[in-house]
């Protein structure tokens, strides 16, 4: 993406310290989460995060396909992250590419560290993430959607998995980059947090940062994750609210 620099670089940070869309450096884009929009899946979620729109569906635990991936002591977690052809300005060539394979892998591994997979030996938990509209931070949006979908599917796990990216924009550390900031910024650092333990189960980085900036970014990201965590819980509560007291035998 370095060649993008040939284009005109927009002003990413105003003299007042506001970003291209008017946010402060530590401010998230607006997030809307809906739990359970799909009926055929065991669990599902739809996330609108800034201009990102991501749908996640979870199936399982169910029989493993292909069979040879079956593990006799736990469930395998298979994840497929996909971007729709119409999700970006220039048509994206549909299908698997190296980027989507990588994202599928890191998301599956993040979930492996929170899901109690030993409870369902010889099965598969299949997570599908479809990015309908992309504007930077889709792996985090996908992870958030998938995590809510997993809870909706009744999968036992340590905790929900909020995620956010922190980056470096015009020399400053900023939370939750949008597309222009991602393209013209200096660094991008997506992360996913287990709020219960405070552990990070996904951490990637692109670009350059000093060690001080990195630790500042981690602090900022963890705070962002905790805000997103509350929104994830609110979405699940809204879906399962007002349970009948008694009645259910």
Using CB under 8 A as the binding rule, whether residue 154 contacts another protein is answered as: yes
Q: Are strands 172-175 and 199-203 parallel, antiparallel or unpaired?
A: unpaired
Closest CA to 107 of 62, 152, 71, 141: 141
The mark string for 108-147 relative to another protein (x by CB under 8 A, - otherwise) is --------x---xxxx------------------------
Window 168-227: residues binding another protein (CB under 8 A): 194-197
Question: Site for another protein (CB under 8 A): which residue of 41, 160, 169, 202?
Answer: 160
The count of residues interacting with another protein (CB under 8 A) is 39
Q: How far apart are the first and last CA of the chain?
A: 58
Window 77-106: residues binding another protein (CB under 8 A): none
User: 82's torsion region: left (phi>0), alpha (psi -120 to 50) or beta?
Assistant: beta
Helix and strand numbers, DSSP H then E, in the chain: 4, 10
**Shortest Cβ 136–another protein spacing (Å):** 27
CA distance 145 to 6: 35
Question: Site for another protein (CB under 8 A): which residue of 16, 17, 90, 241?
Answer: 241
Q: Name the DSSP letter for residue 40.
A: S
Dihedral sign for Cα atoms in the order 152, 238, 190, 99 = positive
Binding site for another protein (CB under 8 A): 42-43, 60-63, 72, 75, 116, 120-123, 151-160, 194-197, 233, 236-237, 240-245, 247-249
């Amino acid at each position: 993406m370095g060649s993008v620099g040939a284009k005109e670089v927009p002003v990413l940070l105003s003299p007042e310290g506001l970003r291209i869309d008017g946010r402060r450096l530590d401010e998230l884009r607006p997030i809307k989460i809906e739990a359970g929009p799909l009926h055929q899946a065991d669990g599902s979620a739809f996330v609108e995060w800034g201009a990102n729109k991501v749908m996640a569906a979870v199936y399982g635990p169910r029989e493993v396909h292909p069979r040879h991936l079956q593990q006799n002591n736990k469930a395998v977690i298979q994840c497929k992250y996909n971007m729709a052809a119409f999700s970006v300005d220039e048509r994206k060539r549909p299908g698997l590419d190296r980027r989507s394979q990588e994202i599928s892998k890191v998301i599956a591994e993040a979930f492996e560290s929170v899901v109690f997979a030993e409870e369902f030996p010889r099965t598969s938990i299949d997570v599908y993430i479809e990015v309908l509209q992309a504007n930077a931070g889709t792996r985090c949006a996908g992870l958030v959607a998938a995590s809510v979908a997993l809870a909706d599917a009744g999968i036992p796990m340590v905790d929900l998995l909020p995620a956010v990216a922190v980056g470096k924009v015009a020399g400053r550390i900023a939370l939750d980059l949008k597309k222009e900031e991602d393209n013209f910024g200096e660094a991008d650092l997506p992360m996913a947090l287990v709020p219960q333990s405070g552990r990070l189960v996904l951490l990637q980085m692109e670009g350059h940062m000093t060690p001080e900036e990195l630790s500042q970014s981690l602090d900022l990201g963890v705070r962002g994750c905790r805000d997103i965590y509350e929104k994830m819980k609110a979405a699940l509560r809204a879906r399962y609210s007002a349970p009948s007291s008694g009645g259910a035998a």
